[in-house]
Amino acid sequence: MVFGRKNKKVVPFRTAGELDAMAAAGAVVGRALVAVRDAAEPGVTTLELDEVAETVIREAGAVPSFKGYHGFPASICASVNDRVVHGIPSAGEILTEGDLVSIDCGAVLDGWHGDSAWTFGVGNVIEADRLLSEATRLSMEAGIAAMVPGNRLTDISHAIELGTRAAEKEHGRAYGIVDGYGGHGIGREMHMDPFLANEGAPGRGPQLVVGSVLAIEPMLTLGTVDTKILDDDWTVVTTDGSRAAHWEHTVAVTEDGPRILTLRPE
């Protein structure tokens, strides 16, 4: 889920034991995401996907982070096709062959939060949509690689942007980096300082130290960078109707390199 607040001098950091606790919460999120993807077939509603995720989360002894958060009514954000983020699951939204689905999921376990998202196709998707999701994943991975001690916040933003540009070159097409949305700090709250933009000049903002944790989440489109919010006051869609993708991991800085805290089972 995508929110952000003002920066501090150092990106908030956790002890090794606290990172392990966050990884436990993140593992619940990872299992829920895999279960949702396994259930996502033509004819299934996004509300049914929400029920799958909530069952996995609660059976693990965790609580859905999103449900009730500022009034959000569900355990996942299910954003289909031109929906970028914050799509509300619905019994009336039935998946069809070729849909591009972005699922964002959060869970809190023993007071610690995990937050992760990914995009996948329902059945066979067109090549442009497959590449859009791949480009978004590659951009996220470029940002993760920049999660090292001594870097500053916008070094990650810049790395995400460079990852997007590299994907554009590889795929031979342009992608829109969604304006105004990005990643965030996370820990005992789901959304904490600082806000992490998905593009920008390097070398600015709070410094990363061992134990710093961020949710890294690029959002790309096949067209515009501009969005609007629907009448439900949650769902963010592209203004030109182009398809969007969203990938996210919760990541920690360690002495041995970036540590993904929201790993998914194979």
pLDDT(125) > 90: yes
Which residues partner with 94 through β-bridges?
45
Q: Residue 266: its pLDDT value, please? A: 80
pLDDT in tens, 176-215: 999 999 999 999 999 999 999 999 999 999 999 999 999 9
pLDDT(2) > 90: no
Q: Residue 1: its pLDDT value, please? A: 62
Q: Where are the domains of the chain?
A: 16-260
Q: Residue 3: its pLDDT value, please? A: 44
The CATH superfamily of 16-260 is Creatinase/methionine aminopeptidase superfamily (3.90.230.10)
Is there a contact between 74 and 66 (Cβ–Cβ < 8 Å)? Answer: yes
Q: Residue 5: its pLDDT value, please? A: 40
pLDDT in tens, 137-184: 999 999 999 999 999 999 999 999 999 999 999 999 999 999 999 999
Q: How far, in Å, CA of 223 to CA of 202, rounded?
A: 25
pLDDT(22) > 60: yes
Q: Residue 6: its pLDDT value, please? A: 43
Q: Residue 189: its pLDDT value, please? A: 95
Residue 23's closest CA among 262, 266, 264?
A: 262
pLDDT(240) > 70: yes
